[in-house]
């Protein structure tokens, strides 16, 4: 069996826009902090307290706000490497709907969790950054290409599914033993991505991602998990 090594695809349309906006927000936040201007970027992060105050837009803006340089660089690379490949396989429409479903779904569940913590310090903890989206992408990638070779810390080669399990284990450790509510949100992103990929053939998901697939004029193609890496890369959700 031939082995496919992971290589960087061209930066795709949606991901380029995500990185440009996120990069501008990161630089703006860093500049404002350096000159002593109050960090207005906090108004775009997501928390139960802010959302229940009427800031509904936070459900869609929170992934674009990064506050740490290394976190921004790492997340940008994942968006470029993994996100661009998924977009090239799925197409702009399906990929954009996948991202919106992950962002909005995780955001709502996170806020519901905040609601349960009403009156405690956890109620005001804000969720931000591309980590949740990236973990959802990596989960989808591991399900579609389970035997693809990836590298942990750019050193240790392993299969994509093993890589994904390690990331899930790290987030679970951080959530349970360090009590990080944001890690629970990241696990939610991975779980939601898993459900989307595994149950994509269900009618409700077909209508969400590709309404035309239910038409009799369309050929019956659907997403499937790659079992044999000797196959040509499939076209998903088309």
The predicted pLDDT at position 152 comes to 61
User: pLDDT digits over 91-116, tens only?
Assistant: 898 999 999 999 999 999 988 887 77
pTM of the model: 0.79
pLDDT-derived band of residue 48, with 50, 70 and 90 as boundaries?
confident
- Identify the CA nearest to 96 among candidates 192, 185, 164, 13: 13
Give DSSP secondary structure letters for 57-79.
Answer: THHHHGGG----HHHHHHHHHHI
Count Cα atoms within 13 angstroms, Cβ side, for 97. Answer: 14
Average pLDDT value over all residues in the chain? 79
User: pLDDT digits over 185-225, tens only?
Assistant: 999 999 999 999 888 776 767 677 766 654 444 444 445 45
- 222, two tokens: 């659907």
Structural domains in the chain plus CATH codes: 13-214 (1.20.1540.10)
């Amino acid at each position: 069996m031939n082995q496919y090594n992971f290589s960087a695809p061209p930066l795709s349309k949606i991901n380029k826009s995500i990185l440009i906006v996120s990069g501008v927000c990161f630089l703006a936040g860093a500049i404002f902090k350096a000159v002593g201007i109050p960090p207005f970027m906090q108004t775009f992060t997501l928390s139960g307290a802010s959302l229940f105050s009427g800031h509904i837009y936070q459900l869609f803006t929170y992934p674009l706000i990064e506050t740490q340089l290394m976190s921004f660089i790492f997340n940008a690379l994942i968006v470029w490497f993994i996100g661009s490949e998924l977009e090239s396989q799925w197409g702009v429409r399906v990929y954009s709907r996948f991202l919106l479903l992950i962002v909005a779904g995780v955001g709502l569940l996170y806020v519901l969790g905040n609601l349960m913590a009403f009156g405690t310090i956890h109620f005001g903890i804000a969720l931000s950054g591309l980590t949740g989206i990236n973990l959802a992408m990596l989960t989808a990638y591991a399900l579609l290409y389970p035997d693809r070779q990836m590298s942990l810390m750019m050193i240790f080669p392993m299969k994509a599914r093993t890589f994904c399990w390690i990331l899930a284990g790290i987030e679970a450790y951080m959530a349970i033993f360090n009590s990080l509510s944001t890690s629970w949100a990241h696990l939610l992103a991975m779980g939601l991505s898993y459900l989307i990929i595994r149950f994509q053939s269900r009618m409700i998901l077909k209508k969400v991602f590709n309404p035309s697939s239910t038409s009799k004029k369309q050929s019956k193609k659907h997403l499937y998990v790659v079992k044999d890496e000797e196959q040509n890369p499939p076209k998903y959700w088309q």
